[in-house]
A and B are shown apart, each in its own frame.
Chain A
Amino acid sequence: DTEVTQTPKHLVMGMTNKKSLKCEQHMGHRAMYWYKQKAKKPPELMFVYSYEKLSINESVPSRFSPECPNSSLLNLHLHALQPEDSALYLCASSFRLAGVYEQYFGPGTRLTVT
């Protein structure tokens, strides 16, 4: 199983809503990543977890709150988002954080903030 799954596929939320994105992998990977991708742009790293601990926060606004409850699951909690936060949110995982380990990407959640 070399799959990273993400739910939901699409999400529309208002600026006052609270929602969560979910990412799951069962490959035994201990590094998990959140990326934000705007249309026709490359992914931008947001957060990285290694062994369920937050290792990297790329100065992301606090309205995005990541959580890694266990080694297979990664959540991104959303609150009071802005329309400019509309994007494709990609989750990825790799065997370990350091080294030439392939990052496996999920299909993404298309988020629209109204």
Chain B
Amino acid sequence: AQTVTQSQPEMSVQEAETVTLSCTYDTSESDYYLFWYKQPPSRQMILVIRQEAYKQQNATENRFSVNFQKAAKSFSLKISDSQLGDAAMYFCAYAMRQGAQKLVFGQGTRLTINP
């Protein structure tokens, strides 16, 4: 079975600084997707960024970028120029490429932004 591990239950960063959230996963599949979802205190979860395992290039979305290390099964999220609106619970998630997109979530990292 696939598992996703986020080893940092909580993190904090000063506004405008850079922070990196860690995620590791375990799978025997070679083709899959990885995601970072953000759940602000208002609860609505939104997709931040996604990575397809067959793509070597790391995904980037504005201030958000990932460091995807397939051999190490690591998928970290870097947030640059942190803003107060980035404060949220961040979930790393995995889904197999074949078949139904069943998301396997990590336990989450709560990110606090200090003004």
Query: Which A residues form the contact surface with B (CB < 8 A)?
Result: 31, 40-43, 45, 48, 50, 55-56, 88, 90, 92, 94, 97-103, 105-108
Q: Mark B18-50 against chain A: 1 for CB-CB distance below 8 A, else 0.
A: 000000000000000100000000111111001
Binary contact track B78-90/A, C-beta < 8 Å → 1, others 0: 0000000000000
Q: Which residues of B contact A (CB under 8 A)?
A: 33, 42-47, 50, 52, 91, 95, 97-103, 105-108
Complex Cα distance, B50 from A37, in Å, reads 22
Cβ contact within 8 Å between B101 and A94: yes
Is there an interface contact between B102 and A56, defined as CB atoms closer than 8 Å? yes
Least CB separation from A43: chain B residue: B105
Residue from B45, B95, B97 with most neighbouring chain A CB atoms (10 Å): B45
Please determine whether A43 and B45 come into contact, CB atoms closer than 8 angstroms: yes
Measured in the bound complex, the distance between the Cα atoms of B89 and A88 in whole Å is 15
Partner of A88, one of B43, B52, B98: B43
A43-B105, A45-B103 given; A100·B45 CB < 8 A: no
Once the chains are docked, how many angstroms separate the CA of A48 from the CA of B101?
10
Chain A's closest residue to B44 (CB) is: A107
Enumerate chain B residues within 8 angstroms of A108, measured Cβ to Cβ: 43-44
Partner of A40, one of B52, B99, B108: B108
Q: Which of A43, A97, A102 contacts B100 (CB 8 A)?
A: A97
Q: What is the CA–CA distance of A55 and B102 in the complex, to the nearest angstrom? A: 11
With contacts A45-B103, A56-B102 known, is A106 near B44, CB below 8 A? yes
Q: Looking at the complex, which one of A31, A40, A102 makes contact with B47 (CB distance below 8 Å)?
A: A102
B42–A105 CB distance below 8 A? no
Q: Please tell me if the beta carbons of B105 and A98 are within 8 angstroms of each other in the complex.
A: no
Please give, as numbers and ranges, the residues of chain A lying within 8 Å of B100 by CB-CB distance. 48, 50, 55-56, 97-98
